[in-house]
Amino acid sequence: MATIQDKLNVLASTLDAAETASAGTAQASEEKRATIVDYKMVTFSLAGKDYAIDIMKVKEIAKASHFTFVPNAMPFVLGVYNLRGDIIPIIDLRLFFNIDVEDHNDDVLENMLIVTVGEQTFGVVVDEIDKVIGIQKSSIQPPHPLFGDINIKYIYGVVEAERRLYVLLDIDKIFGVRTPEEEKEMEEMARAQAERRQAAAQALQEQQKAALEVKEASPAESSATLEVTPAQEEAVDINFIADSLKNLKKFTVNEINQEWVKQRYTEWAKERGGTEKTQLQSETDADNFLAPFYSKCTGSWWSENYADAITKALPDNSAKNIVVWNPGCAKGYETYSLACILKKRYPDAKIRIYGHDTDLLSVSNAPLMNLTDSASADWYQPYTARTASGDYTFSKEIKDSIMFEYHDCVNTNNLPPIDIVFARDLLSFLPETSQKKVLDDFSEKVKGNGVIIIGENENIALSGWNKKQAGDVAIYSKQ
pLDDT in tens, 374-397: 888 899 999 999 888 888 999 999
Beta bridge partners of 116: 121
Mean pLDDT check: name the lowest of 98-107, 218-227, 293-302, 457-466.
218-227
Report, in this order, helix, strand and coil percent for the chain, each rounded to 5.
40, 25, 30
Cα separation of the two ends of the chain: 118
Per-residue confidence band for 333, with pLDDT thresholds at 50, 70 and 90: very high
Q: What is the mean pLDDT of residues 249-272?
A: 91
Does 82 score more than 70 pLDDT?
yes
Q: For residues 448, 449, 452 and 457, what is the CA-based torsion angle, rounded to 10 degrees?
A: 120
Q: Compute the mean pLDDT over every residue in the chain, rounded to the nearest whole number.
A: 82
Q: Is 45 exposed, middle or buried (0-12, 13-18, 19+ CB in 10 A)?
A: middle
- pLDDT, residue 23, reads 56
How does pLDDT run across 301-326, given as a tens digit for each residue? 999 999 999 999 999 999 999 999 99
- pLDDT, residue 226, reads 47
How does pLDDT run across 30-73, given as a tens digit for each residue? 444 445 788 999 999 998 889 999 999 898 888 888 888 877 77
Is the pTM here over 0.85, yes or no?
no
How does pLDDT run across 225-259, given as a tens digit for each residue? 445 455 555 565 678 888 889 988 999 999 999 99
- pLDDT, residue 235, reads 60
Does 421 score more than 90 pLDDT?
yes
Q: What is the DSSP string of 342-370?
A: HHHHSTTSEEEEEEEES-HHHHHHGGG--
- pLDDT, residue 446, reads 94
**Nearest residue to 408 (alpha-carbon basis) of 431, 387, 386:** 431
Of 75 and 271, which is predicted with more confidence?
Answer: 271
Going across the sheet that includes 402-406, the strands are 402-406, 350-357, 321-327, 418-423, 446-454, 473-478, 465-470
How does pLDDT run across 8-26, given as a tens digit for each residue? 455 456 555 555 555 555 5
Is residue 201 within 8 Å of residue 85, measured between CB atoms?
Answer: no
Q: What is the mean pLDDT of residues 408-426?
A: 88
Whole-number percent of the chain with pLDDT over 70: 77
Does 29 score more than 80 pLDDT?
no
Distance separating alpha carbons of residues 432 and 436, to the nearest angstrom? 6
Give the number of residues written for the chain: 479
Beta bridge partners of 114: 60, 123
Q: What is the mean pLDDT of residues 102-127?
A: 85
Does 427 score more than 50 pLDDT?
yes
Does 366 score more than 50 pLDDT?
yes
Distance separating alpha carbons of residues 456 and 297, to the nearest angstrom? 11
Q: For residues 124, 181, 286 and 441, what is the CA-based torsion angle, rounded to 10 degrees?
A: -50
Distance separating alpha carbons of residues 305 and 311, to the nearest angstrom? 10
Is residue 229 within 8 Å of residue 179, measured between CB atoms?
Answer: no
- pLDDT, residue 147, reads 57
How does pLDDT run across 275-302, given as a tens digit for each residue? 567 788 888 899 999 999 999 999 999 9
Beta bridge partners of 81: 88
How does pLDDT run across 185-194, given as a tens digit for each residue? 555 655 665 5
**Nearest residue to 406 (alpha-carbon basis) of 354, 367, 353, 357:** 357
Which of left, alpha, beta for 228 (phi over 0: left; psi -120 to 50: alpha)? beta
- pLDDT, residue 205, reads 60
DSSP code, position 300? S
Per-residue confidence band for 102, with pLDDT thresholds at 50, 70 and 90: confident
Position 18: which residue type? Answer: A
Strands 120-126 and 86-92: parallel
- pLDDT, residue 105, reads 75
- pLDDT, residue 445, reads 92
CA-to-CA dists, residue 441 to 50, 230, 247, 352, 402, angstroms: 39, 40, 26, 19, 21
The interaxial angle of helices 180-217 and 283-290, nearest 10 deg, is 70
Of 346 and 145, which is predicted with more confidence?
Answer: 346
DSSP code, position 277? G
Secondary structure class of 284 (helix, strand, coil): helix
- pLDDT, residue 190, reads 54
